[in-house]
Amino acid sequence: MSAESPATPEPGPREGPSVPRIEDAYLDRAIREMHLLEERMDACPGCQAGGTFPVKASGSPTADIMLVKWQSSLAERQEGVSFYGRSGEAIRRSAERLQVDPASLYGTLVLKCPHADPASPMGDELEWLAEEIRIVRPRILVVMGDRTIAAVDALNVPMAEPLPVEHGVVTAWTPAIEALVTPDIDDSLDEQDAKRRFWAAFRSLGEWYAAEPPW
């Protein structure tokens, strides 16, 4: 008696292509656009003439929190990355104390090019910063120092309100982005009273973060 052939299984439904999550789509878009922006930065004539490179941002290009400070330190220029060295370590420790996820932070500079004139951050520097804000689309902008406040106000972002002078107060900057003003982190690293003033303002970020909905 011959063995029966095994039954042929019924074909199941065909699986279609997986649908990417919307978060992944936003991240892919932001990575592509940030790459194009960095190519424009690298083409800076002043940097090419001086044999230098712009200091690039650090963190996720879809971060909820965007940190902006005035200019790079020596360590940041050597590494080519903003918020590297002492300022980055201070922010990391502050974020940990506030229970803010470091993955939610994106840090950048107003003056990205080492040759830029600190007295006149106009032209490409402001255009690049405005483009970063457009790409990242943060929920909150942390603006560090008076010179950075003036530069961000000079961006003329549509529907943006002037930034407050008072430190440590979260306000609406645009209909989609809030803002928090703090002292400059680089000016707050050595003297104890300056450290306290920075912390007194920056800790408002922890209250904001804790109150944000998880979506």
Fold adopted by 22-211: Uracil-DNA Glycosylase, subunit E (3.40.470)
Q: Which amino acid is at 81?
A: V
83 sits in the region (left: phi over 0; alpha: psi -120 to 50; else beta) called left
What values do phi and psi take at 143, rounded to 5?
-105, 120
First to last CA, the chain: 65
The whole-model pTM stands at 0.87
- pLDDT per residue as tens, the chain (215 positions): 344 444 444 554 444 455 557 888 889 999 999 999 999 999 999 898 889 999 999 999 999 999 999 999 999 999 999 999 999 999 999 999 999 999 999 999 999 998 877 666 567 899 999 999 999 999 999 999 999 999 999 998 999 999 998 999 999 999 999 999 999 999 999 999 999 999 999 999 999 999 988 77
Separation of alpha carbons 42 and 69, rounded Å: 20
* Residue spans per domain, the chain: 22-211
